[in-house]
A and B are shown apart, each in its own frame.
Chain A
Amino acid sequence: MAAATARPRPAAPPFGILNDDGSCADEHKAIVSDDDVERILDTMVLNRILDRRLQMLQRQGRLGFYMTSRGEEATIIGAAFCLETTDPIFLSYRELGCLLWRRVPLALVFNQLIGNSRDLCLGRQMPVHYAFRDWGIPSVSSPVGTQLPHACGFAYASKIRRSGEVALAFCGEGTASQGDFHTALNFSGAFWVPAIYVIRNNGYAISTPESVQTAAESLAARADGYGLPGYQIDGNDLLAVVFALRDAVERARAGRGPTLIEALTYRLGAHSTADDPTAYRSDAEAEEWSRMDPFERLRRHARWRGLWSDEVEQASTQAWEKRITDTLTECERHPPPAVESLFDDVLEAPGPQLVEQRDAYLRYWRTKTDKPVSEL
Chain B
Amino acid sequence: MAETQTMNMIQALNQALDLYLERDDAAVVLGEDVGLFGGVFRVTQGLQAKYGSERVFDTPLAEAGIVGMAIGMALNGLHPVAEIQFADFIFPAYDQIVSELAKYRYRSGGEYPAKVVIRAPMGGGIHGGHYHSQSPEAYFAHTPGLRVVIPSGPYEAKGLLLGALECPDPVIFLEPKRLYRSAKRDVPLDYYTLPLERARVARRGADATVVAWGAMLGTALEAAIAEGDGYDVEVIDLQSIAPYDLRTVVRSVRKTGRMVVVHEAPRTCGFGAELIAAVQGAAFDKLTAPLERVTGFDTPFPYTLEEHYLPSADRVARAVIDTIEY
Complex-state Cα separation, A354 to B144, whole angstroms: 9
| Mask: chain A, 121-156; 1 = CB below 8 Å from B; 0 = not | 110110001010100001101010010111111111
Cβ of A26 under 8 Å from chain B: no
Complex-state Cα separation, A184 to B69, whole angstroms: 8
Cβ of B222 under 8 Å from chain A: no
Q: What size tier do the contact residues of chain B reach? A: 35 or more
- Give chain A residues whose Cβ lies under 8 Å from the Cβ of B100: 141, 143, 146, 150
| Mask: chain A, 101-129; 1 = CB below 8 Å from B; 0 = not | 00000000000000000011110110001
Known: A180-B64, A347-B169, A352-B247. A150 touches B71 (CB 8 A): yes
Name the interface residues of A323-376: CB closer than 8 Å to any CB of B. 344-348, 351-354
Complex-state Cα separation, A124 to B112, whole angstroms: 14
Name the interface residues of A157-185: CB closer than 8 Å to any CB of B. 157-158, 160-161, 163, 165, 167, 179-180, 183-184
Cβ of B232 under 8 Å from chain A: no
- Smallest CB-CB separation from A165: which chain B residue? B76
Q: How far is the CB of A359 from chain B (nearest CB, A)?
A: 14
Q: Decide if B112 touches A139 in the complex (CB within 8 Å).
A: yes
- Smallest CB-CB separation from B73: which chain A residue? A153
- Give chain A residues whose Cβ lies under 8 Å from the Cβ of B55: 160
Q: Decide if A133 touches B108 in the complex (CB within 8 Å).
A: yes
Cβ of A312 under 8 Å from chain B: no
Q: Decide if B108 touches A153 in the complex (CB within 8 Å).
A: no
Q: How far is the CB of B272 from chain A (nearest CB, A)?
A: 16
Cβ of B325 under 8 Å from chain A: no
- Smallest CB-CB separation from B116: which chain A residue? A153
Cβ of A212 under 8 Å from chain B: no
- Give chain A residues whose Cβ lies under 8 Å from the Cβ of B174: none
Q: Decide if A183 touches B68 in the complex (CB within 8 Å).
A: yes
Q: Decide if B112 touches A186 in the complex (CB within 8 Å).
A: no
Cβ of B300 under 8 Å from chain A: no
- Give chain A residues whose Cβ lies under 8 Å from the Cβ of B195: none
Between B60, B67, B244, the greatest number of chain A beta carbons within 10 A of the residue's beta carbon is seen for B60
Which of A129, A183, A346, A351 makes the CB contact (< 8 A) with B105?
Answer: A346
Cβ of B91 under 8 Å from chain A: no
| Mask: chain B, 228-266; 1 = CB below 8 Å from A; 0 = not | 000000000000001111110000000000000000000
- Give chain B residues whose Cβ lies under 8 Å from the Cβ of A216: none
- Give chain B residues whose Cβ lies under 8 Å from the Cβ of A65: none
Cβ of B95 under 8 Å from chain A: yes
Between A150, A190, A347, the greatest number of chain B beta carbons within 10 A of the residue's beta carbon is seen for A347
Between B54, B107, B145, the greatest number of chain A beta carbons within 10 A of the residue's beta carbon is seen for B107
| Mask: chain B, 154-170; 1 = CB below 8 Å from A; 0 = not | 00000000000000110
Q: How far is the CB of B193 from chain A (nearest CB, A)?
A: 16
Taking beta carbons and an 8 Å cutoff, which residues of A are in contact with B?
88, 119-122, 124-125, 129, 131, 133, 138-139, 141, 143, 146, 148-158, 160-161, 163, 165, 167, 179-180, 183-184, 186-187, 190, 344-348, 351-354
Taking beta carbons and an 8 Å cutoff, which residues of B are in contact with A?
28, 54-55, 59-60, 62, 64-65, 67-78, 80, 92, 95-96, 99-100, 103-113, 144-145, 147, 168-169, 197, 242-247
Could you list 24 A-B pairs, sorted by A, with CB under 8 Å?
A120-B109, A124-B109, A131-B109, A131-B112, A133-B112, A139-B111, A146-B100, A149-B64, A149-B67, A149-B71, A150-B68, A153-B74, A154-B72, A156-B72, A158-B76, A179-B92, A180-B96, A186-B62, A345-B109, A348-B168, A351-B242, A351-B243, A352-B197, A352-B243
What are the 9 A-B residue pairs with the smallest beta carbon separation, nearest first?
A153-B72, A351-B243, A149-B68, A150-B72, A157-B76, A183-B65, A153-B69, A131-B108, A121-B109
